[in-house]
A and B are shown apart, each in its own frame.
Chain A
């Protein structure tokens, strides 16, 4: 049992997973195989960025979901017995990874944030968050194949290198899936990508109604930043688009400044801003958990405090 596999659907996934795979490969003294969807990265790109071999997934018939590739991936995995199989932790990636792990009777480390190989024990050692981000779980796979999903943007994409070569093989078309896609509704790009924002003003449950979010937007504008939200505002109230939801089940952000307005500070949310340089808060409840998780904060009614902050910023 040897080899590292990456299974990817898009170009970005290929590059990032190759980056993660290349971290492990020298330690494990093994090769990296890129199993990629047609139209993601070309075989030449995969090889240049660190793959030793490329397996090209067949183009899917219209209406076939990505998961339809599962029997083909399973068959190849059984034939070549990779030690580790990496997927991107996207909706399709997570589902396919879990189903493959079940078929191979393999362990799966979901949403892996750190990855290493321990030569002494021959184990793949992985870290992930648990308990809503309150804990770090360290997992070890000492034997057998291990499937790993990696949240997007967790690892540095692999750089292209000159003179690399390797074999490419086309995989057979999979049998028809029981699940059929009857319609695709592409996402309307209504909001900005906040993962790259320098400043984020985040609105929480402390806002009474949708119109009041304008106040958070004003502060974001004054600070030259973007608006973010906690999960209740995007998922339950639908006041803001889901792309703006920060946290374990939303996006992870690394701004220089995060301002939480009416954000209570639940760990699932705060774990999404762990990479922020400065965290501050305005909340009327002095016992709100966010204060302990902030650098500084104002205990007060955001409806009174934010206009005063805006005023002070102008002076």
Chain B
């Protein structure tokens, strides 16, 4: 019966980010969520556990104390227990730092595991680094961009999507995979799942319980709103609106 680690991140829902004065990012009305791709990672971990006839899915997340909501959300999606690595300084971490923290927690506290599942990227930075970096820090095989996965006899078999098609690969366990969104459809937790989540064990790991220095390698010099806004003229669906729409197309010179 497999032990599977699912890594996930509690992130700002980018749909609520506004463009503030002077091109600053306005986070005043944002909501938070488990990253879209991380939901696929959790779902895949749970499915592989169930396909293996039981076992254990351990969620691990790194974040500020406010990310506690994400831990409960993750547990409501079928994980059995969670490690919440939390510190007020764990805000705006670089992928290299997140990977180093995850590596220390997994190495020191999850002694035996078969598989680590990560999303293909976080919904906020989408740097797509934490998974492969974590595999290297743990010294285990890594298969990224997986659209289909099976585990058998101490090995994994995965379909990895690359530009020129699909590579079907095999690797010995323990190994790490990053999953693509089409590997599964994440479940939507029901009321019962949410209630159950509150009873599942959560182990909180504080910054001073870790030994690493977790220094960053890059500096974020600026984070500014990108401008996608256009004139945004709205037309009615009546004859006049349609005529004006087609006229605008013609005037743009794009069509004849």
- Contact check, B217 vs A106: say whether CB atoms are below 8 A apart: yes
Pick the contact of A90: B163, B166, B232 (CB < 8 A). Answer: B163
Q: Are B12 and A107 touching (Cβ within 8 A)?
A: no
Asked whether, in the complex, the Cβ of A138 is within 8 Å of the Cβ of B221, the reply is yes
Interface size on B, residues (CB 8 A): 84
Would you list which residues of chain B between 193 and 211 have a CB under 8 Å from chain A? none
* Set of chain B residues within 8 Å of A177, measured between Cβ atoms: 141
Bound form: Cα–Cα A98–B99 in Å: 11
* A131: B residues at CB distance < 8 A: 12, 14, 17, 25, 124
Q: How far is the CB of A274 from chain B (nearest CB, A)?
A: 6
Asked if A109 CB lies within 8 Å of chain B CBs, one says yes
Complex formed: what's the CA distance from A266 to B17 in Å? Answer: 12
A133 at the interface (CB under 8 A from B): yes
A-binding segment of B42-50, B73-81, B108-116, B130-138? B130-138
Interchain CA distance A114-B180 in the complex, whole Å: 27
**Which A residues touch B120, using CB under 8 A?**
249
Residue of chain B at shortest CB distance from A312:
B246
Digit string of A190-221 for contact with B (CB within 8 Å is 1, else 0)? 00000000110000000000000000000000
Those of B115-164 within 8 Å (CB) of chain A? 120-121, 123-129, 131-137, 141-145, 157, 159-164
A120 CB to nearest B CB, Å: 13
A299: Cβ under 8 A from any B Cβ: yes
Given the known interface contacts A91-B144, A132-B123, A277-B252, the answer about A108 and B246 at a Cβ–Cβ threshold of 8 Å is no
B-contacting residues, A269-315, CB 8 Å: 270-271, 274, 277-280, 286, 289, 291-301, 304-305, 308-309, 312-313
Q: Which of B221-256 contact A (CB under 8 A)?
A: 221-226, 228-237, 239, 241-246, 248-249, 252-255
Contact check, B237 vs A94: say whether CB atoms are below 8 A apart.
Answer: no
Instruction: Please give, as numbers and ranges, the residues of chain A lying within 8 Å of B141 by CB-CB distance.
Output: 177-179
Is A187 an interface position by the 8 A CB rule?
A: yes
Chain A CB within 8 A of B93 CB:
no
- Segment with Cβ contacts to B, from A39-47, A49-57, A141-149: A141-149
B136 pairs with A102, CB closer than 8 A? yes
Q: Number of residues in A with C-beta < 8 Å to the partner?
A: 89
Known contacts being A235-B181, A286-B234, is A102 close to B167, with CB within 8 Å? no
Q: Contact string, A104-129, partner B, CB cutoff 8 A, digits 1/0?
A: 01111111000000000000010011
Query: A159 on the interface (CB 8 Å rule)?
Result: no
Confirm or deny: B188 has a beta carbon within 8 angstroms of a beta carbon on chain A.
no
Q: Judge whether A142 and B228 touch: CB under 8 Å.
A: no
Instruction: Tell yes or no: A65 within 8 A of B by CB.
Output: yes
A139: interface (CB < 8 Å)? yes
A108–B133 CA distance with the chains assembled, in angstroms? 10
Query: Knowing A131-B17, A278-B254 touch, does A102 contact B132 (C-beta < 8 A)?
Result: yes
B22 touches A (CB below 8 Å): no
User: Whole-angstrom distance between the alpha carbons of A312 and B216 in the complex?
Assistant: 58
Please give me the residue from chain A that is nearest to B238 by CB atom: A300
Bound-state CA distance A262–B79 (Å) is 36
Which residues of chain A are near B182, meaning CB under 8 Å? 235-236, 238
Most chain A CB inside 10 Å of its own CB: which residue of B123, B125, B129, B253: B129
8 Å CB contact of B15 from A105, A125, A186, A267: A267
Chain A residues near B252 (CB-CB < 8 A): 256-257, 277-278, 295
A-B contact count (CB 8 A): 270
- Closest CB of chain A to B241's CB: distance in Å? 6
Residue of A nearest to B127 (CB): A110
Contacts A90-B162, A137-B220, A298-B245; is A179 near B236 (CB within 8 Å)? no
Cβ–Cβ < 8 Å partners of B136 in chain A = 98-99, 102-103
Asked, given contacts A293-B230, A299-B235, whether A98 binds B248 with beta carbons under 8 Å apart, the answer is no
A181 close to B167 (CB less than 8 A) = yes
A108 touches B249 (CB 8 A): no
Q: Is A162 among interface residues, defined by CB-CB distance under 8 A? A: no
Known interface pairs A95-B144, A102-B137. Does A298 touch B228 (Cβ–Cβ under 8 Å)? no
> Which chain A residues border B180 with CB–CB below 8 Å?
235
Which positions in B face A, CB cutoff 8 Å?
Answer: 12, 14-15, 17, 25, 94-96, 99, 120-121, 123-129, 131-137, 141-145, 157, 159-172, 175, 180-182, 185, 216-226, 228-237, 239, 241-246, 248-249, 252-255
14 extra interchain contacts, Cβ-Cβ under 8 A, other than A130-B126, A296-B232, A300-B241?
A67-B142, A98-B95, A109-B218, A110-B125, A132-B126, A135-B224, A136-B225, A136-B226, A138-B224, A199-B255, A280-B245, A295-B230, A296-B233, A305-B242
Q: What 9 pairs between A and B have smallest CB-CB spacing?
A: A300-B237, A107-B217, A107-B218, A102-B136, A98-B132, A183-B168, A102-B133, A257-B254, A296-B233
Pick 8 A–B contacts, CB within 8 A, sort by A: A91-B163, A110-B128, A132-B14, A136-B222, A185-B166, A267-B15, A293-B228, A299-B235
